[in-house]
Structure formats: C-alpha cells, structure tokens
C-alpha cells in the first residue's frame, strides 16, 4: 500500500532533532505509515486570521488531514502529561524531565484552526462551492485516554491518546464519519493544496546559500584553539588532524601566541602558495612573524637572490647552504618554529630545522600534520623527535557535510566529525576528457551568474597542461583562480571546480586534497569512469 501525500515529503533534520517536536514527529511518522494514497497530510501549517474587531490573529495547525470523500480534519498534538486548572483556566504539559510548560487549550486551538482554514479554503479558485465535512481532533501522544468528557466541547471521541495511536487511521475515519456534508472532491483537495502548499518561487541565487554556509563555518573555526591551551606549555609537540580540521588556522594562532611572548617566530610549510596565504593572513594581525615555504626560507636565510629551490636536488642544496649561513650568523636562528603540513617534510629535514632553533632545549618547535594514513602512512618515524600528544584535531570545521563526505572516502585515520552545515549537494558533471576544460570554465561562469564572487572560486587542475588549457579557454572569467592541485594543499576557496582529468587517479593524494579544498560548494568535471572512482572508491588503503 502506497502512503499518503505528505507535506513536507521529508521532515527536516532540525525538526526531528528538536526535543519540543518529539510528539509531532511521532504523529507525522504514524500518519505516513497508517494512511493510504487517497489522503493528503499537511504538517505545521500556519494561518493568519482576523478577530471581530479587525485585529490580526495568527495561529498554526499541527496537522491538516484531507480526503476527497470524507472531508478534512484539523489536528492539534500535545506530548507529555496534560493537565487543566479550571480556576485559572490554564492548560499545562509536563515533560519527561518534570518541567511544566504552559500551553493553550488544545481543543480550542483545533477548533479555531478548522474554522480559519475552512474560510480561507473557500477563497481558493478551485473550491467546489458546496458544504463539506470539516472536523477537529486532539492527539495526546503520551497520556491514557480520558475516562469521561473533559468539558462540554471535549467529548472522549475528540481525543486520540497513546493506546489509540497504533489505530490512528481508524480514529481519523471515525472523526470524519457521520453528519452532513458533501464529498470534498479532487477540486476541494486542490484548494487545500493551493492554500497550504502552493508552490511559488522567490529564487535564491546559489551564492546566497554559500554565503550562509560560509558564515556558519567561520563561526566554528575558533573551537579548535582548545588544543593550544592543552599543549601551549610544551616546547616540542606535534598534533594531527585530517583535511578541514583547521590545522593551518591553529598553526597561525600558535605562531601569534608565541610571537606575542616576545619570541622570534617562524611559520614554515612546504608549499609556496600556502606560505603566501599565511603571510597575507598573519601580516594583518602580527607582521613580525616570518612565514615561508621551506625553499623560501632557504633563500631568506642564505641572503641569496636565487629563485626558490623547487627540485628535489635543489631543496637539498638550499638546506645545506641555509645551515652554513646560520652557523656563520647564529642571530638568524629562531626562538620558535611552527611547521604546517608537516607530513610533507622528509625525516632528515627535521635535523636541519632543529639547527635553526636558538636553543636546542628551550626553543619551541611545534608541528601540525595530516593524519590520513592511507596517503601519508604512519608519521611516527618522521616525528620521532616530537612528543606526539594524545589530543587531535577531530572536528572538520572547513567543509560542509556534503563536501566532507566526498573527501572522507579517501581518508583513513583518526575519525573526524563534520560540524559544518549540511550544505548543497556536490555536483558531478560527466563529460569527455576533451570537454573537461570547457565544462570547468562554464561552471565558473555559472557560479558567477549565481552571485558567487570570482575571487571565491578556484579551478584545480592535475597538471600544467590541463591548467594552461583551462586558463586559455575562450570566455574564461576574470578573477577566477586556476591552480595545480599539488600547489593548493592547505588552501581553500568558497567554491572549487575540479578538472578531473585521468591523472587524478594516479595519486590518491590529488583526490584527497582537491575534494577537501572547497568550504561550501564542489563541482567535479570529468569522464564517467573517473567520477565513479572518485564517488564510489572504497577508502584507500583499506
């Protein structure tokens, strides 16, 4: 048996999780299971009426149950222990925690809703123009049935209580049986749909939703600073977390706190784009902190005008020259060094970093690393010189839950909980490999049309060829960033478009990094086989 037409079709999660809605949720689920497809059920329908003096009067009907043959029933729902004080003319409900709540007369509420909704239904164009059966009822989800009439307007059959709940469909039919009234008919049902569930569109650009989600995520970020209160007294410590857990934000806050203690502080990472981002953020609040990629640090301490050491042999040469420079000029050393994305640092590099400290025992060396064992493995050997704290960054504060779910397929490590809003669904755009660049550019233009600022959008490519093809596409929007996935580690944007060419499957890190970069919206363009691998791939390494 198919069920009734429910409005809304699915209860929002926040309704189901609200304690004060428990009774209504129980009745919603019962009606959905108990009634057949000939019924329409409208949940939590507000109405606005007028008093005899012309003043506005607003109300809400918990449930309106409509049938083309039987008519309609207005239902008020109350949970807990129900009591009535006739002297004070006051109804109350007492919940499981023994907390009493003053409530309105539920019978009068149901009666008022019945009359107000009937009058408004008659004004709809599809109203059949005949006398129909309109009734009201009250559901007490937790109490026993009343042993007698509760008042002249409250005979027992008006109520459906806990023992009758399994047969709520029979109670509804009983309430709508007998008496005068013509069938409501399909046009009458349509009148109630026009009144209570009439669709209309006041279109909201996608950018507005992303703004709301972004604000919710921004409000969460400081929650991770608790770890600094726990480990701030430790001179040598490493703390881990997965993508989106705020490692970079916490690393910056750590550097700020140490700098404000009068310590000469450096914050370093492997990626030059991430270092540039950190410099920009720190420069606004604490300009005395130096922020470099490892290659940039080599150049800065060597006093050289050489370009950044990019190749593997180049960085090794740069580190050797950097150590020679600090040995000649010990004043170049630091009181505190913070390392972000520490999983990118090789074991022997840590020896060089330690030599950059002013005091081997008293200087501060803090590292923040990614705990994704499926990609970076067990970092115990690389971080053997650190005191690995039992506190980890376990709350994803960067991404919406939809994005977290997509990226989490490529994560294996300490469990991470997504605290952000649900967000909009990830968009998976299937296209041929030769169409990926044009699809990515078109997606960026569409987002801009949806009022997402170009500066909030980045397109990520697997390699330089794909990056160049995207950048040179006709109609490429000004202000949108195009970056290599490998260069975007530690960075983020409100909206990310991934140009998922086949090379993304060659290195699981590319998938993990790229899928976790957007805060509020993710679009992935690629061939069906690649998208299937990204969407359905079992956790890497399992």
Every domain of the chain and the residues it spans: 5-197, 228-393, 426-536
- pTM summary value: 0.54
365 vs 501: CA distance, rounded Å = 39
**pLDDT recorded at residue 312:** 59
How many Cβ atoms sit within 10 Å of the Cβ of residue 392? 18
Q: Counting beta carbons within 10 angstroms of the beta carbon of residue 281, is it exposed (0 to 12), middle (13 to 18) or buried (19 or more)?
A: middle
Spatial neighbors of 22 by CB under 8 A, at least 6 apart, are 79
Categorize the per-residue pLDDT at 287 as very low, low, confident or very high, splitting at 50, 70 and 90: confident
Summarize pLDDT for 257-276 with one digit per residue, the tens: 999 999 999 999 988 899 99
Average pLDDT over residues 307-321: 73
CA-atom Rg of the chain in angstroms: 32
3-state secondary structure of 449: helix
CATH fit for domain 228-393, picks 3.40.190.10, 3.40.50.740, 3.40.50.300, 1.10.10.10? 3.40.50.300
Q: Strand 395-396 to strand 417-418: parallel, antiparallel, or no bridges (unpaired)?
A: parallel
Instruction: Tell me whether domains 228-393 and 426-536 share a fold.
Output: yes
Q: Which helix (H) or strand (E) holds 316?
A: helix 312-328
- Flag whether pLDDT at 220 surpasses 60: no
* C-beta contacts of 197-206 below 8 A and 24+ residues apart: 197/7, 197/42, 205/450, 205/451, 206/424, 206/447, 206/450, 206/451, 206/452, 206/521
Lowest average pLDDT, out of 149-163, 218-232, 320-334, 436-450, goes to 218-232
**pLDDT recorded at residue 411:** 78
- Flag whether pLDDT at 36 surpasses 90: yes
90 vs 108: CA distance, rounded Å = 12
- Using alpha carbons only, give the angle 503, 344, 480 rounded to the nearest 5 degrees: 55
Homologous superfamily of the 426-536 domain (CATH): P-loop containing nucleotide triphosphate hydrolases (3.40.50.300)
Q: Which helix (H) or strand (E) holds 58?
A: strand 56-67
3-state secondary structure of 67: strand
Average pLDDT over residues 35-60: 74
- Cα distances (Å, whole numbers) of residue 304 to 297, 307, 320, 416: 10, 9, 13, 43
Closest among 128, 274, 116 to 188, alpha carbons compared: 128
- Flag whether pLDDT at 148 surpasses 80: no
Average pLDDT over residues 504-523: 90
Average pLDDT over residues 319-347: 90
CA atoms within 13 A on the CB side of 465: 7
3-state secondary structure of 234: coil
Summarize pLDDT for 56-94 with one digit per residue, the tens: 556 788 999 999 999 999 999 999 999 888 888 888 999
Displacement of CA 162 from its chain's centroid (Å) = 37
Mean confidence (pLDDT) of the chain: 85
């Amino acid at each position: 048996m198919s069920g009734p037409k429910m409005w809304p079709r699915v209860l929002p999660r926040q309704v189901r999780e609200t304690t004060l809605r428990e009774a209504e949720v129980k009745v919603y689920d019962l009606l959905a299971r108990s009634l057949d497809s000939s019924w329409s059920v409208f949940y939590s329908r507000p109405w606005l009426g007028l008093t005899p003096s012309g003043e506005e009067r607003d109300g809400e009907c918990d449930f309106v149950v409509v049938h083309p043959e039987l008519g309609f029933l207005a239902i008020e729902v109350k949970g807990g222990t129900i009591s009535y004080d006739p002297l004070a003319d006051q109804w109350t409900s007492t919940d499981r925690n023994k907390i009493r709540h003053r409530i309105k007369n539920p019978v009068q509420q149901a009666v008022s809703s019945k009359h107000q909704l009937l009058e408004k239904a008659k004004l709809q164009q599809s109203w059949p123009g005949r006398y129909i059966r309109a009734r009201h009822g009250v559901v007490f989800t937790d109490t026993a049935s009343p042993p007698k009439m509760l008042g002249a307007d409250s005979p027992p059959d008006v109520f459906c209580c806990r023992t009758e709940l399994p047969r709520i469909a029979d109670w509804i039919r009983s309430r709508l049986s007998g008496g005068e009234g013509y069938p409501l008919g399909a046009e009458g049902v349509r009148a109630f749909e026009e009144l209570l569930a009439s669709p209309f569109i006041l279109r909201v650009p996608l950018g507005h939703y992303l703004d709301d989600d972004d604000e919710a995520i921004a409000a969460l970020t400081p929650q991770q600073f608790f770890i600094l209160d726990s480990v701030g007294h430790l001179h040598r410590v490493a703390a881990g977390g997965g993508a989106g857990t705020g490692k970079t934000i916490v690393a910056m806050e750590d550097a700020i706190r140490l700098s404000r203690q009068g310590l000469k502080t450096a914050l370093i990472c492997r990626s030059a784009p991430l270092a540039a981002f950190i410099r920009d953020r720190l420069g606004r609040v604490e300009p005395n902190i130096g922020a470099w990629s490892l290659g940039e640090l080599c150049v800065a301490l060597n006093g050289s005008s050489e370009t950044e050491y990019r190749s593997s042999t180049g960085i090794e040469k740069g580190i050797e020259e950097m150590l020679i420079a600090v040995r000649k000029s010990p004043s170049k050393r630091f009181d505190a060094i913070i390392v972000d994305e520490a999983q990118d640092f090789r074991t022997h590099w840590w020896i060089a970093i330690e030599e950059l400290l002013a005091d081997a025992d008293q200087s501060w060396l803090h590292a923040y690393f990614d705990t994704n064992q499926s990609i970076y493995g067990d970092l115990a050997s690389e971080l053997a010189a650190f005191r690995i704290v039992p506190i980890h960054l376990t709350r994803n504060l960067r991404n919406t839950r939809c994005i977290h779910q997509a990226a989490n397929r490529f994560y294996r490590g300490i469990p991470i909980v997504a605290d952000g809003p649900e967000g909009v669904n990830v968009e998976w755009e299937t296209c041929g490999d030769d169409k990926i660049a044009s699809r990515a550019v078109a997606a960026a233009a569409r987002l801009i049309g949806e009022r997402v600022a170009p500066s909030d959008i980045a397109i990520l490519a697997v390699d330089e060829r794909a990056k160049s093809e995207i950048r040179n596409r006709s109609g490429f929007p000004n202000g949108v960033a195009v970056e290599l996935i490998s260069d975007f580690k530690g960075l983020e944007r409100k909206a990310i478009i991934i140009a998922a060419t086949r090379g993304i499957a060659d290195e699981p890190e590319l998938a993990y990094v790229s899928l976790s970069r957007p805060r509020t919206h993710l679009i992935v363009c690629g061939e069906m086989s690649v998208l299937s691998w990204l969407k359905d791939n079992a956790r890497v390494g399992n």
